[in-house]
């Protein structure tokens, strides 16, 4: 029995659970980047309906053309 297995059993005997990470430490930057970009994409996606309605007024777009813009998005 080596020293590392003794320390693992020692942690388990004291009622502590082994610590499992959601992702590896070297994947922290890509995880944060994807998470931030997801929210930055979601905000304009949520405002799309409001913007199309305002563009209908500003550019005198018909409802049919606004529907085409909505389906293209």
For the chain, the structural domain boundaries read 24-73
Question: Distance (Å, rounded) from C-alpha 34 to C-alpha 30?
Answer: 6
Specify the pLDDT at position 64.
94
Question: Distance (Å, rounded) from C-alpha 4 to C-alpha 68?
Answer: 63
At residue 2 the predicted structure's pLDDT band, cuts being 50, 70 and 90, is low
At residue 32 the predicted structure's pLDDT band, cuts being 50, 70 and 90, is very high
Specify the pLDDT at position 19.
77
Instruction: Quote the pTM value.
Output: 0.47
Specify the pLDDT at position 15.
64
Specify the pLDDT at position 30.
93
Angle at 30 between CA 24 and CA 35, to 5 degrees: 110
Question: Distance (Å, rounded) from C-alpha 53 to C-alpha 32?
Answer: 33
At residue 13 the predicted structure's pLDDT band, cuts being 50, 70 and 90, is low
Which of 31, 65, 14 has its CA nearest to residue 57?
65
């Amino acid at each position: 029995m080596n020293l590392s297995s003794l320390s693992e059993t020692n942690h388990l005997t004291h009622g502590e659970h082994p610590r499992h990470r959601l992702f590896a430490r070297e994947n922290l930057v890509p995880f944060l980047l994807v998470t931030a970009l997801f929210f930055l994409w979601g905000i304009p996606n949520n405002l799309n309906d409001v913007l199309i309605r305002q563009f209908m007024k500003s550019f005198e777009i018909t409802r049919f053309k606004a529907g085409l813009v909505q389906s293209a998005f």
